Amino acid sequence: MAILMPKKVKHPKWQKGRSKGVDTRGTSLVFGSFGLKSLETRWISSRQIEAARRAVIRYLKKGGKLWIRIFPDKPVTKKGTEVPMGGGKGSVEHYVFPIKPGRIIFELEGIKEREAEEALKKAANKLPIKTKFIKKL
């Protein structure tokens, strides 16, 4: 399983931060004719993105092209079990993408609308957020 993670990062450990508001970047279809748009704010892990990608690829078989418009580059740390308080921040456990409403997650091209909707529905089932199927006007 090829879990997405950055090759190199400037700062290996980040602070949590706060996600609020709507996205202003990555909100319109650029590559494909059909897309999956986020309607909620949440962290999406690299495993969830990979599971959704696999679901779409499996449904498409050989037809169509898929673009993943998000990349998990935010490290999430965790301390080991039964580790006492203090001793600094834990080690990096996994990577996430903090998604906001309006962001395009996946784009599809080269298949019929009905098939695209079904493929992206399967991807949406793997994600922890509410999503919406969109198409180019």
Backbone angles phi, psi at 94, to 5 degrees: -160, 180
Q: Sketch the domain layout of the chain as residue ranges.
A: 45-75+92-135
User: What pTM was computed for the model?
Assistant: 0.91
66: Cβ contacts below 8 Å, ≥ 6 apart: 32, 53, 56, 57, 60, 106, 107, 108
Q: Is the dihedral of CA 10, 15, 21, 22 positive or negative?
A: positive
Q: Which amino acid is at 55?
A: A
**SS3 category, 107:** strand
- 137 residues of the chain, pLDDT tens digit each: 567 788 888 888 999 999 899 999 999 999 999 999 999 999 999 999 999 999 999 999 888 999 999 999 999 999 999 999 999 999 999 999 999 999 999 999 999 999 999 999 999 999 999 999 999 97
Other beta carbons within 10 angstroms of residue 11's beta carbon come to 7
CATH domain 45-75+92-135 topology: Aldehyde Oxidoreductase; domain 3 (3.90.1170)
- Residue found by looking up tokens 């999956």 in the block: 36
